[in-house]
Amino acid sequence: MKKNIGATLALYPNPLIVVGAMVDGKPTWTLVAHAGTMAHSHLMVSLVQAHYINRGIRENKKLSVNVVDESWLKAADRMGTVSGNKADKSEAFAWTMGEDGAPLIDDAKVSIECEVDGNYELEHFDHFVCKILATYADEAVLNEKDKIDYQAFKPVLFEFPTYEYFVTGDKVGDCGRMNA
């Protein structure tokens, strides 16, 4: 028997990401737990409107989504505890400017460069609808077909409401081939 636990967001864990954007000519970063796929060409990044980085995203319409793995988790976690409104986070990571104008974290084995197509404002959040312009992946996490091998990559997952981190686990099946 299932128990009704209320109107609880229960779609966790999610991949943990650090979003990067330019503000006043310098990169800034923030840890993000609310993001997801909207289509094969778009994703959504949800940020509290008071975040410093939101201004740069609104002005430049560019951002990067840097997927966290365990090798740089501690530095990523810090981006969720330090406010860009109070501290300069431009030197928190070594970074490279993406081909389309968004700062990419060098330590991230997977970074996605995006252009903002729209913003859906809801309950003090900006929900940026982002078109994927380019995905950059370290060759160490690619398979022979140049697709991301998640068993090699092992991105960190964030679980809400406990605020705990996990890594991806073992393969348990092949999509669309379970009944064959």
Which mean pLDDT values do the consecutive 10-residue runs of the chain (180 residues) have? Answer: 92 95 98 94 97 98 98 97 96 98 98 98 97 98 96 94 89 85
pLDDT tens for 11-55 read 899 999 999 999 999 999 999 989 999 999 999 999 999 999 999
Where do the domains of the chain lie, and which CATH numbers do they carry?
14-167 (2.30.110.10)
Alpha carbons within 13 A on the beta-carbon side of 179:
1
* Cβ proximity of 103 and 89 under 8 Å: no
**CA dist 176 → 25, 141, 173 (Å):** 46, 24, 9
- Would you give the DSSP letter of residue 153? H
What was the pLDDT predicted at 171? 83
* Cβ proximity of 120 and 38 under 8 Å: no
What was the pLDDT predicted at 180? 62
Calculate the average pLDDT of the chain.
Answer: 95
pTM of full prediction above 0.85: yes
What was the pLDDT predicted at 172? 87
